[in-house]
Amino acid sequence: MLEVRNLNFAYPENPCLLSNIDFSILKGEKMAVVGPNGAGKTTLLLNLTGLLIGSGEIFIQGMPLCKKNLPAIRQILGMVFQSPDDQLFSSCVYDDVAYGLIYQGKEKELIDRCVLEALQAVDMVDHKDAVPYHLSLGEKKRVAIATVLSMQPQLLLFDEPTMGLDARARKQFIQIVRNLPQTILLATHDLKLAATLCERLLVLDAGHLVYDGDIRTALQDTAFLEKHGLDFE
């Protein structure tokens, strides 16, 4: 599904945001990327979407990530941003969820159906005409997921999805993600969330990939977690 080979990325003023990242995700897998603040999780996700371009190779469903393939890849891959306010920029929920479909040039009826399905998946159908600003953070988050789901991607990237959510909203989020059939890559510093949702774990620290493997094994090694600024309890 996704393969990353020897990915390096640096800003001119901030060298080595990512160095020598190698990993791959299989279809249907749910994987978490964890690491302390500033470890490069968001940078990694943005690299996978092609919004940032570093050196190295990235393949998505066998397609190399390059300018030519971008339109095709953006149909396959969806990203849910950390702040839903960045993602919900239209004036009502429907417009936001339909945005991507409109740009794909879909028919009105098809758009209606896809929007409805996406909102159903996140249980927000009743809020179809709501103004994003009036929603709670948890609701905004769910709508943000719907904006991505409506485009029917096969790979979903989440950036700090539970940041700022209260317990109930967090639970709802977990429920929604569990039911999603897509391949999922989840960047978070919330190890508990990673443990509930994912089987596999990547640990990123200061731009280096320090662990890639089964999540339970990593969780038992408290010394390792401590060393990389992570905490399970």
Partner 1 sequence: MSLYIKSSGFLYSLDTRVKWVAVVVIACIVLSIPIFTWAIYILLFSILFSLAIATQLPVKKVFHRTFLIEVPILLVLLPLPFVEKTPPYFFISWADWYIRISQPELLRILALMLRSWLVIFTMVLFTMTTTADKIFSSLIAFKVPAILINIIQLMWRYLALFSELARSMSAARVLRSVPSEKHLRNRFSRVGYNIKYTGSMIGSMLVRAFERSERIYQAMILRGFDGNIRTIQYPTMQATQFMQIGFLLIFGLCFIIGAYGINR
Binding residues for partner 1, per CB under 8 A?
46, 49, 51, 71, 74, 78-79, 81, 83, 85-92, 95, 98-100, 102-104, 108, 111, 131-133, 147, 151
59 backbone φψ class: left, alpha, beta (φ>0; ψ -120 to 50): beta
Q: How far is the CB of 222 from partner 1 (least distance, A)?
A: 35
Residue 230 near residue 34 (C-beta atoms within 8 A): yes
Distances (CA, A) of 144 to 147, 176, 190: 5, 12, 20
The pair of structure tokens assigned to 186 is 């989840």
> Least distance to partner 1 from the beta carbon of 184, Å?
16
In the complex, minimum distance from the CB of residue 41 to partner 1, in angstroms, rounded to a whole number: 15
How many other C-beta atoms lie within 10 A of the C-beta of residue 94? 19
Comparing CB distances to partner 1, the nearer of 146 and 191 is 146
Pairing of strands 183-188, 30-34: parallel
Name which of 35 and 132 has its Cβ closer to partner 1.
Answer: 132
Strands (E) located in the chain:
2-9, 18-25, 30-34, 55-60, 63-64, 77-80, 155-159, 183-188, 200-205, 208-214
* Shortest Å distance, C-beta 131 to partner 1: 7
From the CB of 169, what's the least distance to partner 1, in Å? 19
Distances (CA, A) of 81 to 62, 78, 88, 148, 214: 25, 10, 10, 10, 26
Which is closer to partner 1, CB of 42 or CB of 172?
A: 42
Q: Which is nearer to partner 1, 87 or 182 (CB)?
A: 87
For residues 143 and 225, which CB has a smaller minimum distance to partner 1 in the complex?
Answer: 143
Which has the closest alpha carbon to 185: 16, 39, 37, 49?
A: 49
* Spatial separation of the C-alpha atoms in residues 164 and 37, rounded to whole Å: 15
Q: Taking phi first (over 0 means left), then psi (-120 to 50 degrees means alpha), and beta for anything else, what does residue 34 get?
A: beta
Q: What is the nearest approach in angstroms of partner 1 to the Cβ of residue 185?
A: 14
Nearer to partner 1, 106 or 192 (CB): 106
Q: How far is the CB of 100 from partner 1 (least distance, A)?
A: 4
**Is the Cβ of residue 7 or residue 101 nearer to partner 1 in the bound state?**
101
